[in-house]
Amino acid sequence: MAKKKQETKNNKKEKKEVVVKEEKVVKNTPKKESKKEEKKVNKVSDDKVFKMLEFFDKYRLAIYGAVGGILITILVVIIIWPDRIATLKDGTQPVAEIDGYTVTADDLYEDMKELYSISSLLDKIDNKILEKKYPETDDMNDEIKETAENYYNAYKQYYQADKETFLSNNGFGSEKAFLEYLKLQYRRNTYAKDYIKTLISDKDVEKYYNDNVYGDINTKHILVKVDSSASDEDKKKAEDLAKEIISKLNNGKSFDDVKEEYKDQITYEELGYKSYNANLESAYMEAMQKLDDNSYSKEPVKTSYGYHVIYRIDQKEKPSLDDVKEEIIDSLVSEKQSSDKNISYIALDKMREEAGLKFSDTVLEKKYNTYMSQYK
């Protein structure tokens, strides 16, 4: 009877069930050297050239991965806080050296822009901004660990694979890397919700209160189960049985007597008090609101579980606006996120703008603008 809840996303499409990081593929074919570079290489002995190429080919992924990460971090700091560091004077300056092999900014910068999508850069940028806005807490870490376990369990259920396989198949080198990714998403979601709250007025809250809030309602129900994928014949039998039960109630039998009489054919449950925002199917919620205290539904109530005969026992007084204001705001935030799938992306765009995001590279700026254009 519970409603299914709402994720997460990558640079081009959101993956709702499994987090997938973009694989960074490096071609093993060496680039063609320019004429100027060929002359330079020809001056080096064949043995030295062979050793250098052999080394570079062997450690290509390590070099690109390590230096690429360094360059992205440097870019983030340069973009957001250009006045706080000494920038590279030119592209020939080394950014890394491995076993005598020097990597300059020019060597990898262009490749980095192709190999690392704009979302990788945004991950770094957002992390820098959000870790200051939302410092790490025990509650945050507990929720992140719970989310991770949900991913592991879902992956095991659907693919019969363990945690290590999940991490490997989704591009995470370790569980720590996955938890850091989830922490970033947690902070992004928190910021987006805080931003959306600024768009909600007191009038919005008051209208929601008047239209939707009511006192908790106490119900019990008889359910004739039938799967939503069942045949029309089976659905008809289930509905007819629910109608038969209602007929017995109409003829004076008590709810308790009827549920005992049909106990082998039905499911009986006492739900207790449920609020206006309870996690129940809308058909059930609407039916219990329409009933008077100590009355039952005169027609079967259909949900995805089957056909219900609902008995409303009583109802509490409507809570005050002050008592439910925060709940209402959370509900309105969820409604806005459901009705406008782009609003969270727009919120993060405004966050970066407020943080002073500027691109010194026109290619990256164009990529970012293209990326954001799909959400505006």
Q: What pLDDT was estimated at residue 297?
A: 97
b/e per residue 326-335 (b: at least 16 CB within 10 A): ebbbebbbee
Lowest mean pLDDT, pick from 15-19, 197-201, 209-213, 233-237: 15-19
Q: What pLDDT was estimated at residue 195?
A: 97
Q: Is 48's pLDDT higher than 50?
A: no
pLDDT in tens, 131-162: 999 999 999 999 999 999 999 999 999 999 99
Give the bridge partners for 182, in sequence order.
none
Picking from 279, 8, 304, the residue whose alpha carbon sits closest to that of residue 150 is 8
Q: Is 28's pLDDT higher than 50?
A: no
- The larger pLDDT score, comparing residue 112 to residue 223, is at 223
214-315 in CATH: which number? 3.10.50.40
Q: What pLDDT was estimated at residue 71?
A: 52
Average pLDDT for residues 361-369, to the nearest whole number?
Answer: 89
Angle between helices 138-159 and 175-197 (to 10 degrees): 120
Residues 241 and 262: their CA atoms lie apart, in Å, by: 9
Q: Give 2's pLDDT tier (boundaries 50, 70, 90).
A: very low
Cβ-Cβ contacts under 8 Å for 216 (sequence gap 6 or more): 273, 274, 275, 315, 316
Residues 144 and 166: their CA atoms lie apart, in Å, by: 16
Picking from 243, 270, 244, the residue whose alpha carbon sits closest to that of residue 256 is 270
Q: Is 343's pLDDT higher than 80?
A: yes
Cβ-Cβ contacts under 8 Å for 356 (sequence gap 6 or more): 80
Average pLDDT for residues 300-324, to the nearest whole number?
Answer: 97
Q: What pLDDT was estimated at residue 200?
A: 97
Q: What is the mean pLDDT of the chain?
A: 81
Average pLDDT for residues 230-252, to the nearest whole number?
Answer: 96
Enter the pTM of the model. 0.64
Q: Spell out the domain ranges in the chain.
A: 35-116, 121-198+340-373, 214-315
Lowest mean pLDDT, pick from 24-33, 213-222, 311-320: 24-33
Q: Give 109's pLDDT tier (boundaries 50, 70, 90).
A: confident
- The larger pLDDT score, comparing residue 45 to residue 95, is at 95
Residues 169 and 317: their CA atoms lie apart, in Å, by: 53
Q: What pLDDT was estimated at residue 248?
A: 96
Q: What pLDDT was estimated at residue 113?
A: 72
Q: Is 16's pLDDT higher than 70?
A: no
User: What 3-state DSSP class applies to 273?
Assistant: strand
Share of the chain above pLDDT 70, in %: 75
Share of the chain above pLDDT 90, in %: 65
- The larger pLDDT score, comparing residue 212 to residue 9, is at 212
Number of H helices, E strands in the chain: 15, 7
The letter for the amino acid at 204 is D
For residue 286, count CB atoms less than 10 angstroms from its CB and return exposed for 0-12, middle for 13-18, buried for 19 or more: exposed
Give the bridge partners for 217, in sequence order.
274, 315
Q: What pLDDT was estimated at residue 74?
A: 52
Give the bridge partners for 307, in sequence order.
224, 302
Q: Is 188's pLDDT higher than 70?
A: yes
For residue 98, count CB atoms less than 10 angstroms from its CB and return exposed for 0-12, middle for 13-18, buried for 19 or more: middle
Can you read off the two tokens belonging to residue 354?
């407020």
User: What 3-state DSSP class applies to 260?
Assistant: helix
